[in-house]
Every structure is written in C-alpha cells, then in structure tokens.
Amino acid sequence: MSIGMSTRPAGNSARAGRTPRKQGLLRRALQSKRTVVGLVLTLAVLTVAFLGPYLAPHSATEFVAAPFSPAGIGGPFGTDNLGRDVLSRFLAGGQTLMILAIIATALGVGLGALVGVLAAYRRGWLDELLMRAGDVALAFPQIVLALLFLSIIGPELWLLVLMVGFGHLPRVARVVRGAALSVVERDFVKAAESVGIPRWRIMIGEIVPNISSTLAVEFGLRLTYSIGLVAGLSFLGLGMQPPAADWGLMINENRIALTISPWSVALPVIAIALLTVGTNLVTDGLAKASIGSDKGVTV
Amino acid sequence: MRRLLFRRTLFGLFTLWVVSLVVFLATQALPGDAAQAILGREATPERLAALREQLNLGGSLPEQYFGWLGQLLSFNLGTSLAGGTPVVSAVGPMLLNSSILMLCAAVIAIPLAIGIGTWTALRKDSAVDHVTGIITLVLASLPEFVVGVLLVLLLATGVFHLFPAVFVLVPGEQVWSNPAQLVLPVLTLVLAVSPYIIRIMRATMLEVLESQYVQQARLKGLPERTVVLRHALPNAIGPVAQVIALQLAWLIGGVVIVEFLFRFPGVGFQLIDAVTNRDLPVVQALVIVIAIFYVAVNLLADVVTLAANPKVRTAS
Amino acid sequence: MTAHRRHKSSHLITALALGSLMALSACSSGASAVQAGADSVSDPKPGGNLRVGIVGGSAKDSLDAHAPVTHPDQARVIQLYDTLASYDNEHKIQMALADSITPSADATTWTVHLRDGLKFSDGRPLTAEDVIFTFRRITDPASPQSGASALSTLNRDALKATDSQTVVFSFNAPNSTFPDTAAQYSLGIVPADYDPKKPIGAGPFMMETFTAGQQSVFVKNPHYWQAGQPLVDKVTIIDFPDDTARVNALLGGQVDAIDQLPLGQVNVVKANPAMKVLESATGSWLPFTMRVDQEPFNDPKVRQAFRLIVDRQQMVDQVLGGHGTVGNDMYSPLDPCYPSDTPQRTQDIEKAKQLLAEAGKSSLTVDLVTSPVAAGLVEAAQVFAQQAKAAGVTVNVKKVDPGEFYGDQYLQWTFAQDFWFTRDYLSQASNSGFAKSPYNETHWADQEWTELVTRAQATTDSETRCGLIKKAQQIEFERGGNIIWGFPNSVDAYSAAVQGLTPDKSGIPLTSFGFRNAWLNK
C-alpha cells in the first residue's frame, strides 16, 4: 500500500527485476553527467567527513573566542554557542553521521533483502506473513516510531541505527521480493534445487547475485534517507549528544544565533544537502542504468 | 471491489490495534515516574503519593492496557497527567493547527505539481523539462529540515528578511491570523512533497500521451489544448491520485520535524513536548492519532487506485 | 548604584565587590538605562496592556499561590498574591502586607502586624485569620506546599490571632530568619476560603483568564494597598517554552517584554534601537553538585581537586558570554555576611592532579548528569568536561531530558547540576544544606557545619550571626560538595516603550516580575 510513497519513480522501474551484469552497472550509470556530478558531490562530502577531523585547525571542543563570534573572529567561520571554532567542529562533525547512516542502511538493506528473498523463494504462508507484517510496519511514519523509542530508551546511538535500519526493512523487503519473484522461477534455480543444493545456498549464491542491481539502487536510495533521518534525529536532540561535534546537533545548538553567526548552521546544512543530492543523483543514475534505458544518459 | 475494500478496512483496523499495543507497551517503559516528572523539584514524598493516587498509576499492565483501550474506543483519551485537562481538549486544537498547515501545503502543492508535471511532459526533452527534472531530483533528495533551514537562511535571516523564522502563536489568535508566519513552514512542506508528484505526473502523462485514444483524438483534428485537457489529463490523474494520497500520508510524519523547526503549535511539536514531560496519555493519544490519519489516508489511496483501475473495478 | 554603596558602607568590601559587579553589568545595561532616563516621560502614564513573554510553562502551569513551579507560575503568583514582607531591588527585606514583623528576644516567637485597611481583590478585608489559614495551608502535613520546608519548625497549631490585624507565630526552635521566609514569593497571603481555581489574593492584579501552557490575562486590582499601583490596566503573561520564539515575539511586537534573553540574541536585541536589554547582577547560581557520600566525591581531596580544575573566568566567558561574575564555591554572595575576604579560588591543574593522586584517583572517569532545565547548564557541563581533560579527568556529559532529570533519580545523581535564585545564606541553607533539607543535592551532612548554622538560625544579634555564617561558609569553601563557578546575570529584554523596569538582584527576571511598577509610554 505504501509503495509509491517510499520509492521514487526511478526505484519503481528498477523493480521490474531485470538483471544486467553487475560490473557494467556503475560504468553505464557514469555515462550520464548527472551520475558523475552526484558521485563527485558524494565523494567530496565523504572526504570532508572522513579527513576533516585530521585537517581541523583546533580541537572540536577547544574554546577559541567568545560565544557566537562572527566570521573571522576565532576562525574563518566564527564560533559556536560555546565559543568553539565553527570550521573545526564542522570538519569533525560529519564522520559519525556518515558511519551511522551507512551502518543503518547496510542493516536495513541486508535484512530487508534477506526477508524479501526468503518471501519470494518460499512463497506460501511465510510470504504472506512477512508481507502482512511489513504492511503493519509501513502503516506508521518511520520518524514517529524512531522518536517514540529514542525518547523512551534514550538517545543511544545503537538504538538510532536500529530504528533507522529497521525502518527501511519492510520497504526494502517489498522491493526485493518483487525483483526476486522473477528470478526464483528461472531454470537455474530449479536446476540447483534438483541437484540438492541447500536452499540457503541457492538464496545467497543464485538469487541474490541476480538481483544485485536492485540491491544497489535500494542501497543508494535508503542511504539518502538514512542520512536525512540520522541528521534529523540529531537535530531533534536524539542523536549525538553534546559536547560531540555533529552536523545535526550543530544545527540544533546554533540556530538561535542564525542572524549573528549563520555559518555554524549553514555549513552543516549545506554539507548534508550536497551529500543527499549526491547520493540521490548516483542512485538515479544506477536505477536508469539498471533498466537499460538511455533516458538518463542523454543529459 | 467491495470485498477488497472491506478487507483493506479490516486490515487497517488490525494495524491500528497493533499500533495501540506497541504504543502502550512503549510508553509504559518510559524511564522515570510520571508523578515525579510533573512535580519536578517541587516533589515531596507526600505530594508524590497524593499525585500517584490521583493519576491511577497503579494496577497490572494488562489491566491498565484494557482499561486504556476501552477508553480509547469510547473516545475518552484520558486526562493529561501534566495539565490535568482532558487529552481530547489538549490534542484537539493542535490537530486542527496541523491540519491547517497540511491543508495549506496540499492545496498549493497538488495543483502546482500536476501543472508542472503536465507541462514538462508536453515539453519532453526541452530545456525546461531537463531543468525541472534536475530541480525535482535535488529537492527530492533533501531532508525536510534541511529544506526548512535553507529557506530560513535564504528568506528569513540571511539573504532576505521577508518572513519570520519561527512561528509565534499569541494565545487567543488562530494560526492563520498572521499568514506571513505560515509561509515558511508551508513552503517547506510544499517543496518536500511536490517533487514526487511532479515526477509521477510527468511519467504518467507521457504514457497517456502515447496511448491510442489520445492519438485518435489528435487524428480527429481536435486542438491540442482540448486533447490535453479533455482527454489526456483525466486519464493521467487516476494513477497520480494514489501518489498524492501517499504523499499526504507522508506529510503527517514529515510535519513533526517541520513543526519542531518552525515551532509550529501542532501535533508534531506537541508530541516532542509531551515526550519531554513524560505526559503518557498525550503521547499515546498523539501517536494513535497520527496512526489513524496514516491508515485512513493509505486506505483512501487504495480506494483511489481501485477506482482508477478498470480491471479491478469490473472484476467485482 | 551609588546609593547602594552608601547604604552598605559598613560592609565596604562587599560593596566594592558588588560595585565592580554592577559596573560589569553597567557596560551592557548602563547605556540603555541612561537612554531610558533620557526619553522617559516624567509622569508615568497609566493604562494599557503589558504583554510579557516568559520562558517555560506547559500544561503543568498552575495558579496555586503556594505551588509555583515554572517561571510563568512565579510570574503569575507574584501578580496575584502579595506576601507579608518582600525584597527590594537590592535584595533587602521590606515590609509589605505586614507593617511590622518583630521577634521575641530568643527568636522563637514572631509577631506580625498587618497594615490598616488591607483588602483582597474581591473587596473583602484581609485579616489575621486569613494569614493563619495561609500558613496552615502551606504547612499542611497531608499536602505540604513548596514553602513548607523553610517553616519546618513552625508550630502551626499554636498560630494565634491576638486581634484582627495581629498574628503570633510560635516556633519549636529559634528562627532568626522568619522575615526572610515571609518574603518568599511562594508564601502569598490568601483568603480563608481559598480555592486555586478562583485565585483571590491581595496582589496588584487579579485574574481575568488563564489557559495552562498558553497565556493568562490579569487586570488591575482596584483594592491594591500600594497607592497609585499598578499603573497598567492589564498584564498578559504568555508562556514561551522556546527561546527563539520568545525573542522573535519581542522583535515582532507581539509582546512588550521577555525574560531570559538567550546569549546568542543579546547583540541582536542591542542592535535594535526599539529594544532595550535589562541586565542585573544576581546571586543566582548554577552549581555542579558532588555527592559527598558517594565515590569518588566522599574524599574531600577529590572535591577540592574538581574545584581547582575549574577555570571560572572561562566558564563565565564561554557559558554566559561574560554576562556574569565568577564564584568562589560559596553561595549567597549578596548576603551581608558573605565572606568576600576569602581568597578567590582559581584554576590550578597541578594542585588538582596532586590531590587526585593523593586520593588515589588519578585518571578518574565520572559521569556528569545535565539537562536543559535552566539556561547555561548543558553548556557549563561541556566546558567543565573540556577543562577537566587537562587534569587527566574524563568527564562524560550525560544529557537527560528534564522529565528524567527531575525523575526518580533527582537528588540521587552522583555528579550533576542544579540552579538556584538569589537567597540569603540561612534561607538557602535550610533549602539545601541540612540532611533533612528538601533539595540537598550533595547529601551534605557535616556535623560541625550543621551545629554552626543551627546556632546562627537561633541568633538574633546580627553581628554574632554573621560570625557564625562566615565560619559555616568557610567550611563549605574547604570541603563542601558544590562547585560554584559563577553567578549569571539575569538578562531580559523589553521594548523601549516599556518604562519602570529596573535592574534587580533577586535573579527573578524582569525586576522580580514587578509589573506593578511598569508602565507603557505609547
């Protein structure tokens, strides 16, 4: 029931379940300028996030000037609510967000793929049960559920990852099941079954490789969401906790002084924006490449 | 078709029941004691004991659950632990405010998105089409709070100073009393939901324009305007309606963070406040309200899809 | 300010300290005060509706005279109810509803005499019976109100009216600070048939409407005892839990004044000629509280080491943006008996390391529980964590939401924070210093200290009492459980049209919510 909502049009078509060879996917996607731009943006932000902590002129928790000093005092972008260097905190604040988003996505897509393939392969009551359970899970906004549990148990990072990851699970499972349905009917699966290869090996060895492009597109799509969700929950104060440097938290801590020290909010917001745009452009390119359409290549 | 709808409705109710169970169990596990949280530093053992009794925090879990479920079904959502006022009267105005916010966003976003989607479909592969494609892709990528903060930087505090950056509801006034304050939250939501609708509308419209009956209408020599407005558009709206409904369902989730960002006095803002105050009845009521809305809109989406799909319609 | 110095000439050092403290605040508020004088009209204009935005407030709001919790509660209670005595802007006790409060020689009996012709807002006379009802209501053992702890030794059954204007208070132990207690805003006098739902009092205003968590409207009390007050016809108090919203409401003209201007907005408001900043040095404090009965703080060496870790000036600069004064691990700096000659404790990392090593606690790791329950707490915790690194101490800042902070664990946290407004020493001590005090965050139960303060409470001679208080302060300075790094200024803001708001040392915002003196020049 919620297919259209959670999946972008590009993702929709990927669900058609065609299975081009994996190695060609990224190369074909890169024929589109958009994908190249997306990849550059993504890599640029990732570089800042992962190398930033080593380039920062100050420690992220060191006090360099009066709180909320304007750009130029204490650092090129001013200081934050406690007089710490905005640039240093920006450089130090992306890493955790990336790591959390990637783990959550891997968890959600991994488990979602497992459930989806299982449902498609076993069919019958198990399929029905899994998909109905998924429907129930989908009948609830992911952020509200995350908000509920994070406020109950507390802003623990493992819980944040679990909530974001499990939020993706039913959505991914649904898409993967669709893609896997056409694969399980194919001859090589029947052949493998007839020579007595265990089912789990068929699932992992035969079915999963044949839906790899769907998985790649799903991963990109879910990664974009994960980044937004993790940063958003941090922004609500339910992610990283002070005094940690974190982009979402920076926005929350400093937005009170938007007029006098705008960079402390603008830098993390722009970085998150560029990153999500980048990952989404790549995902879009992958999706278009995976259906072999040349629509995306012309631009 | 009727049977299908019946099954969908039953399923929706089942979903709500599961949600109620999850919500109840989850809120019961909140750390801290509601009475303590309410009295805060004014708590003395005597005052605590008195308040606990007054709030009926005792009883076994199943007892509390079934009692609560019974009250829920009779629309008696209980009394706010914090305020002592009925939850219905606490949640009601917030629900109204959120509905207004979402309605404003929907009323602007839907026609706009359908228009842009149709227009770009008609100008497929033109510069306008490509630019729109890129813009919608970019907007669709951005988390809603990022859109919101960027709008604030651009229109409220940084570059231009056109609209207030936060919503200030002076009690006694309504949310629409000062429309300038509504601009940024509504715009954020519009920018968050429109891209999907635009993209679906464009794709659907393209398909419809290629279809036989549109070709025939053209062959009949009808003016292109008539072809698009009378023949193509009505046929494209059906499939798009489902996406629109789903976007509306999404809105109520997205509205939480947008309300927090702009301090808009709605259900999302209240949810965060209630969680901070350990106001269990309000948290429970709000989550249930959000779930009901979500399920209802999803059901609506199903109805629309079924109605738009001739195969299913005639099968019954 | 000069008047204040002359007044306090017998406490020259205190006065000098206060003077410099005031000078500090004058840098920021002085300019606006002068300006206010320049464009103020000589005659106050009566009338109008003063709209005030106040931090906090939620569905928990109440109008109960004796149970104010949040800032908006305080603001409302101060408008509705007057007390027997009250504090002036210099934090000195003045008579209010009472025209005299006199002790017996041993301070076990106090005689309160009410002014002539006092009336409640509904026009009924305010009599001794109402005062007795009020104090019995506050100290009701079945439901003690927030003022009850300071009245723990009151013999409530022996409260006696000798005539319609005179009440005799008997205490089970000497109580030299009764006037101080009687001046607390949570001890407002209410009529004998008091019902919080129909909040009748003798304050400058009376309730018109009240919506919890939103706003309340008060109208002028025609029977108010102070001639010519209040000046405005109406006061509207609006809850603003959010800092940004509150400031925006002021800038947008939706309110005329706000309390607690956030640091990030001070310069924004100052840059606006239509706005004024009201800054007052106060005796409010935001201590780190170390439980003296728990590892590792049961060792006084660890407590001293932690106090030496703090760079107080950096705390004031980073947490308060300079809007405050450094503290010396002793509270009640405005108390006439405050030992201001005690040398200022400053950061000494080497000494701290040495003390920790002596205590066998080198490379210590502690959790510091913090919560955004007052401005600056979470920030102070972060700055402390940073400063502690230098001494090899790892401080994990554990931020919890207010519900959890004041939840089951409140007063049980090993290392946490709290906040207090200006109070004189003995009043503060009875709130947080004794083993039986309701808010003894540090679980302080020092035998010597308890004896000294108990004696001070029973001493009516102010010289002798001051001597005892100074000794007690010295004990806290040497081995207490609080790290008192500074006293934040109260920083409020108001529209230039508002007149009559003056700096005030209470720590209670907006001239102790003194709206009866305010008027609108528009």
Average model confidence (pLDDT) for chain A?
A: 84
Contact (CB<8Å) A254/C399: no
Report the C-alpha gap between C13 and C281 in whole angstroms. 17
Report the C-alpha gap between C33 and C19 in whole angstroms. 16
B/C interface, count of CB pairs below 8 Å: 103
Report the C-alpha gap between B146 and C389 in whole angstroms. 34
- For residue C444 the two structure tokens come to 């302080």
Report the C-alpha gap between C455 and C472 in whole angstroms. 11
Bin C127: left if φ > 0, else alpha if -120 < ψ < 50, else beta.
beta
Give the gap in angstroms from C-alpha B174 to the nearest C-alpha of chain C: 13
Q: Does A81 touch chain C (CB under 8 A)?
A: yes
Residue with the two structure tokens 């959010």: C242
Strands C257-258 and C490-495: antiparallel
Contact (CB<8Å) C214/B171: yes
CB C90 within 8 A of CB C283: no
Give the gap in angstroms from C-alpha C167 to the nearest C-alpha of chain A: 51
Contact (CB<8Å) A144/B283: no
Contact (CB<8Å) B164/C212: no
Chains that touch A (3 or more CB pairs under 8 A): B, C
Q: Does C267 touch chain A (CB under 8 A)?
A: yes
**Are B49 and B94 found together in one domain?**
no
- Give the pLDDT of residue B82: 59
Give the gap in angstroms from C-alpha B82 to the nearest C-alpha of chain A: 17
Nearest to C397 among A67, A242, A254 (CB): A242
Contact (CB<8Å) C386/A257: no
C23 has a pLDDT exceeding 90: no
**Are B122 and B166 found together in one domain?**
yes
Contact (CB<8Å) A241/C322: no
Query: For an interface test with C, which of B168, B264, B273 has the most C Cβ atoms less than 10 Å from its Cβ?
Result: B168
Report the C-alpha gap between C402 and B123 in whole angstroms. 56
Residue B280 lies in a domain: yes
**Are B94 and B19 found together in one domain?**
no
**Are B147 and B283 found together in one domain?**
yes
Q: Does C324 touch chain A (CB under 8 A)?
A: no
- Give the pLDDT of residue B243: 82
Q: Does C409 touch chain A (CB under 8 A)?
A: no
Residues of A in contact with B283 (CB under 8 A): 148
**Are B267 and B148 found together in one domain?**
yes
Q: Does C321 touch chain A (CB under 8 A)?
A: yes
Report the C-alpha gap between B118 and B138 in whole angstroms. 19
For residue range C359-409, list pLDDT tens digits in order.
999 889 999 999 888 888 999 999 999 999 999 999 999 988 777 787 777
| Amino acid occupying residue C473 | Q
C45 has a pLDDT exceeding 50: yes
- Give the pLDDT of residue B59: 63
Residue B92 lies in a domain: yes
Q: Does C264 touch chain B (CB under 8 A)?
A: no
Q: Which residues fall within 8 angstroms of residue C121, CB to CB, at 6 or more apart?
A: C80, C200, C201, C202, C203, C206, C221, C222, C223, C224
**Are B141 and B284 found together in one domain?**
yes
Residue B184 lies in a domain: yes
* pLDDT in 10s for each residue of chain B, 316 residues: 678 788 888 888 888 888 888 887 776 655 556 566 556 555 666 666 765 655 555 666 677 677 777 777 777 666 666 566 677 777 888 889 999 999 999 999 999 999 999 999 988 889 999 899 889 989 988 998 999 999 988 888 777 888 887 787 776 778 888 888 899 999 999 999 999 899 889 998 898 888 887 888 888 888 888 888 877 887 787 778 878 887 887 787 788 889 988 888 888 888 887 776 666 678 778 888 888 888 888 788 777 777 766 555 454 4
**Are B49 and B179 found together in one domain?**
no
**Are B151 and B20 found together in one domain?**
no
**Are B139 and B203 found together in one domain?**
yes
The partner residues of C94 in beta bridges, in order of sequence, read C86
Residue with the two structure tokens 């729109």: B132
Q: Does C143 touch chain B (CB under 8 A)?
A: yes
**Are B270 and B165 found together in one domain?**
yes
Residue B10 lies in a domain: yes
Q: What is the ipTM of this complex?
A: 0.82
Taking the CA atoms of chain C, what radius of gyration do you get in angstroms? Answer: 23
- Give the pLDDT of residue C85: 95
With pLDDT > 90 as the criterion, what percentage of chain C qualifies? 60
Strands C234-240 and C49-55: parallel
Contact (CB<8Å) B146/A276: yes
Look at residues B73, B98, B126 and tell me which one is the last residue of a structural domain: B73
- The total domain count for chain B is 2
Strand, coil or helix: A225? helix
Give the gap in angstroms from C-alpha A127 to the nearest C-alpha of chain C: 42
A/B interface, count of CB pairs below 8 Å: 152
Residues of B in contact with C213 (CB under 8 A): 83
Residue B115 lies in a domain: yes
- Give the pLDDT of residue C20: 39
- Give the pLDDT of residue A17: 41
* pLDDT in 10s for each residue of chain A, 299 residues: 333 333 333 333 333 444 444 457 888 888 888 899 999 999 999 999 999 999 999 998 889 988 888 888 888 999 998 899 999 999 999 999 999 999 999 999 999 999 999 998 888 899 888 888 888 887 777 888 888 887 777 778 999 999 999 999 998 999 999 888 888 888 888 888 888 888 888 888 888 888 888 899 999 999 999 999 999 999 888 888 888 899 999 998 888 888 788 899 999 999 999 999 999 999 989 988 887 543 333 32
Residues of C in contact with B91 (CB under 8 A): none
Contact (CB<8Å) B271/A144: yes
- For residue B244 the two structure tokens come to 């629109």
Arithmetic mean of pLDDT, C489-507? 92
Note down the domain range covering B59. 2-73
- For residue C39 the two structure tokens come to 């464009």
Cα nearest neighbour of A255 on chain B: B149
- Give the pLDDT of residue B33: 62
Residue B100 lies in a domain: yes
Q: Which residues fall within 8 angstroms of residue B229, CB to CB, at 6 or more apart?
A: none
Nearest to B29 among A4, A152, A266 (CB): A152
Contact (CB<8Å) C379/A261: no
Residue B80 lies in a domain: no
Give the gap in angstroms from C-alpha A83 to the nearest C-alpha of chain C: 6
Look at residues B14, B43, B73 and tell me which one is the last residue of a structural domain: B73
C297 has a pLDDT exceeding 90: yes
**Are B36 and B183 found together in one domain?**
no
Query: For an interface test with C, which of B36, B38, B41 has the most C Cβ atoms less than 10 Å from its Cβ?
Result: B41
C-contacting residues in B 24-43 (Cβ below 8 Å): 31-33, 36-43
Cα nearest neighbour of A64 on chain C: C318
Nearest to B31 among C252, C404, C406 (CB): C404
Q: Phi and psi at residue C369, in whole multiples of 5°?
A: -85, 125
Q: Which residues fall within 8 angstroms of residue B70, CB to CB, at 6 or more apart?
A: none
Nearest to A256 among C262, C398, C401 (CB): C262
Residue B79 lies in a domain: no
Other Cβ atoms within 10 Å of C140 Cβ, number: 14
Indicate the pLDDT class of residue C42, thresholds 50, 70 and 90. low
Residues of A in contact with C312 (CB under 8 A): none
* Greater pLDDT, A296 or C488: C488
**Are B40 and B131 found together in one domain?**
no
C-contacting residues in B 108-137 (Cβ below 8 Å): none
- For residue B188 the two structure tokens come to 């954020």
Q: Does A65 touch chain C (CB under 8 A)?
A: no
Q: What's the CATH code of the domain at B289?
A: 1.10.3720.10
* Greater pLDDT, C17 or B295: B295
Instruction: Single out the residue of C170, C95, C102 nearest to residue C139, CA to CA.
Output: C170
Q: pTM for the full model?
A: 0.81
Look at residues B42, B73, B104 and tell me which one is the last residue of a structural domain: B73
Nearest to A257 among C264, C322, C379 (CB): C264
C17 has a pLDDT exceeding 80: no
* H-state helical runs in A64-156: 86-92, 95-122, 124-138, 142-153
Nearest to C438 among B44, B166, B171 (CB): B44
Residues of A in contact with C317 (CB under 8 A): 63, 66, 83
